Structure 1
Amino acid sequence: MTIRMGFVSSYPPTVCGLATFTVSLRRELVAARGARGSVIQAVDEPSVPARDEVIGSLVAGEPGSGLRAAAQLNQGDVAIVQHEYGIYGGIDGDEILPLLAALTVPSIVVLHTVLSEPTPGQRAVLEMVAGLAGAVVTMGTTARDRLATGYAVDMAKVSVIPHGAPVVTAPAARPRAEATTRPTILTWGLIGPGKGIEWGVEAMALLRDLSPAPRYLVAGRTHPKVLAYEGDVYRQRLIDRTRQLGLDDAVTFDSRYLTTTDLNALVAAADIVLLPYDSTDQVTSGVLSEAVAASKPVVATRFPHAVELLAGGAGLLVPHRDPIATATALRTLLTRRDIAEDMSRAAVTTTPGVLWPAVARRYLALADQLLRDRVGA
């Protein structure tokens, strides 16, 4: 059965993880059912839609915007709403609530953040969002468990569906047949405070004795909201520290826009993916899902998504803000190819469930169930 999907989220040309997630999920759902997937784009100010599928906007601070968006979504069958505190207007993003309340079609709300210690306002908004939703999706068991223990949420509504990752056709590994080939450690994604890249830079200073010397590639533009708030202060601070440590030849910052093809090639050429995030609350990471799907050995701090996804042996976990532990883990993977190869093999067993086609099938099954429940009600 064809389902007319409506999506509410940030969306290109906005550059952020939710926009990328929604593009990928929409593409897979439309491909699976051949349906038209319409998008309501969350924006800070009125703008002309950049893509044909964008049928309307949810404009922060604009009275009636949510009701107009709901009326458009009600022309379809199911609405899929991405939830993150920072993308909707109002206090703690509460301007999403009128839209959800006005929906007459079943809704699936995807929670990208579930805080372990929310403010009273954040807790209240998330509880109301979950109460208005037909179904709630978390992308890991940590987020689900936090809902169960810290929020007043009907857990019968909650499903765990992992963050999707693309099916990569490029080689998963780059052979290092020559002993002189420099191994590459890769961090990618939008750059800003909290990414912990400074700890990766510090760790590189502890690996100078290795031969061949590894290189650390940080690929990604500064997050647009960070850029608007403080400019490129964080990136410049990283560059300055790199120079102070004498690591100009070991650490490279690539701020170019990368197409999907370019990014896939970059990941395929990497030997290790490093995710040194500062957050102890991060319950989902698209970069982590993509790294595992590409069968790359991962070194990550102990944020919840990493603890879950790497439990099968696809990476090493290190404490937050600890360059010595990070360097030790990197050294292990750089000098023990057998351990790195074991991790790549472990990633292969993890991959099938996180690829976008498999993830899309689970969203379709959830949507089908909501529609059946409505008919039977």
Structure 2
Amino acid sequence: MTHFGFLSTYPPTRCGLATFTEALASELATDGVPAPIIVRALDVRDSGPDPAVVGRVPTTTELIARDRVSMRTAVRALDGCDVAIVQHEYGIYGGPDGDEIIPLLRSLATPAIVVLHTVLSEPTPHQRAVLETVCKLAATVVVMTDNAREILNRSYNVKPSKVHVIPHGVPVPRATSVTKRTGSKRILTWGLISPGKGLEWGIRAIAGLRDTVPPVEYVIAGQTHPKVLAHDGERYREALQQLITDLGLGAIVTLDDRYRDATELAELVAGADVVLLPYDSRDQATSGVLIEAVAAGVPVVATGFPHAVELLGRGAGVIARHQDPESMAAAIRTILEAEGAAEQMHQAGLRDTHDFSWPRVADHYRAIAHRMVRVAA
């Protein structure tokens, strides 16, 4: 049985990569294998309690940005494993474009699976150099969409034989107790809040739906991203609240900053009529929120970032134009008013994400790791 190590952000940090790694680690922490090694990537040392993988307690250490001692400690910890699974995102490691990950990978004796969460179609020269070097040092490179693999093959000097597509996992569907609402249709956006999420365009789109029957309500659920909070406080959230007030939408648009556990979040998503992802990014290769919404069978309206174009193109939602509230409003209106549209999207979402459960995704990682260990033996 393969002993896994992980390098990533990780709970109690709250971000998409931390949630992804916790879910994958919990699935790979099966009986009969040593508890996983977790190396948490942090900007500064954290004195909080150690996290726990569901059912197993991992050994944890920290990789602190710009701290060479913690880098050596992280390498020693990961070298105690058979395979290291390294999450790559430009913003989570120290140095320009997170380039401090490069000396760590060079020092690592254990073979690494590098999971790319962002593959830019038009990177800066330094971003390109970082990603190409990271991929060169990896034994295996994982992307989560066909589009991301095509960009790597077309625009980067990365060996195609190294690259594997494994989808972003989703929780196994669970029964939820949803209180049926009467008199309104709920539009939902959830996830950590930060500039670039395009929420101001989503709010403006709702202003164009005040005449719908039944009426709509818009819930934006999520806390401010911890890095945004550290640098700018609640400035973005406050600007959104001011926009809601200026547009006279206080009765139908809610900014909800409560933290929800997995069960509470599942109930919130199950109660939505439409999920709206008005993201500004035109390069986002992977969205956990998108895949979870589609897997829940909720129709999605999203701007045309690559993951949305690939996944929704099979019928689970509608693509709207970036920074265009009229386009978003028209897409929402289609779902709410066109006969049978919502049900067709519901069925398409369940069909297209049938094989995306975390247990199945973990099996893909196990298979790749097994081959890597066998080759290294």
Is the CA contact 1:137–1:158 (under 8 Å) kept in the aligned structure 2?
yes
**Per the alignment, in what secondary structure is the counterpart of residue 210 of structure 1?**
coil
1:38 deviation in Å?
Answer: 1.2
- Alignment partner of 1:162: what SS? coil
Partner of residue 259, structure 2: 257
**Alpha-carbon distance in structure 2 between the residues aligned to 1:184 and 1:26:** 33
Q: Shift in Å at residue 50 of structure 1?
A: 1.9
Distance 1:125 1:32, change over 3 A: farther
- The reply on whether 1:134 has 2:136 as its aligned counterpart is no
The counterpart of 2:353, out of the listed 347, 351, 354, is 351
Structure 1 position 64, deviation (Å): 3.6
Aligned counterparts of 2:114 and 2:191: Cα–Cα separation in 1 = 24
2:27 alignment partner in structure 1: 28
Cα distance in 2, alignment partners of residues 147 and 260 from structure 1: 33
Give 1:173 shift: 8.2
SS in 1 for 2:355: helix
* Residue type of the alignment partner of 1:371: V
Structure 2 residue matching 1:212: 3-state secondary structure: coil
Q: For residues 174 and 335 of structure 1, do their structure 2 counterparts lie closer, same or farther at Cα, with a shift above 3 Å needed?
A: farther
Equivalent residue for 2:89?
84
Q: TM-score, normalised by structure 2?
A: 0.95
Query: Following the alignment from structure 1 to structure 2, what is the Cα–Cα distance between the partners of residues 206 and 273?
Result: 17
Is 1:63 the counterpart of 2:63? The answer is no
Query: CA separation in 1, counterparts of 2:177 and 2:103?
Result: 45
Matched to 2:117, the amino acid is H
Aligned positions of 1:1-377 closer than 5 A: 2-31=1-30, 34-48=33-47, 50-51=50-51, 52-171=57-176, 180-375=182-377
User: Aligned-pair distance for 1:347?
Assistant: 0.8
Distance in 2 of aligned mates of 1:349 and 1:45: 43
Please report the TM-score for the alignment, with normalisation by the length of structure 1: 0.95
Q: Match of 1:45, as an amino acid?
A: V
Runs of 4+ in 1 over 3 A off after TM superposition: 31-35, 171-176
SS at match of 2:157: coil
SS, match of residue 282 in structure 2: coil
Which ranges of structure 1 fall in alignment gaps of 5 or more residues? none
Q: Matched residues in 2 for 1:369 and 1:328: separation?
A: 49
CA distance in 2, matches of 1:80, 1:295: 30
Identity, % of aligned positions: 53
Letter in 2 for 1:50: D
Change (3 A) 1:268 1:32: farther
Does the 8 Å CA contact 1:200/1:276 hold for their aligned counterparts? Answer: yes
What SS does the aligned partner of 1:222 have? coil
Cα shift at 1:174? 7.4
Distance 1:369 1:206 in 2: 54
How far 1:202 moved relative to its partner?
0.6
Alignment partners' CA distance in 2, 1:242 and 1:334: 22
Asked if the contact 2:196–2:280 (Cα under 8 Å) also holds between the matched residues in 1, the reply is yes
1:339 Cα shift? 0.5
Gaps in structure 2 of 5+ consecutive residues: 52-56
Q: 1:45 to 1:225 in 2, by over 3 A?
A: same
Checking the alignment, whether the CA contact within 8 Å between 2:176 and 2:266 is kept in structure 1 is: no
1:134 Cα deviation after fit: 0.5
Report the residue type matching 1:16 in the other structure: C
Change (3 A) 1:232 1:103: same
Q: 1:252 offset after TM fit, Å? A: 0.6
What is the aligned-residue RMSD (CA, Å)? 1.6
1:177-199 Cα distance to aligned partner (Å, 9 max, x none): xxx52110000000011101111
CA contact (8 A) 1:352 1:358 kept: no
Say whether the 8 Å CA contact 1:115–1:281 is kept in structure 2: yes
CA positional deviation for 1:355: 1.4
Determine if contact 2:177/2:267 at 8 Å carries over to the other structure. Answer: no
Which has the larger displacement, 315-324 or 333-342? Answer: 333-342
Contact conserved, 1:66 with 1:95, CA < 8 A, in 2? no
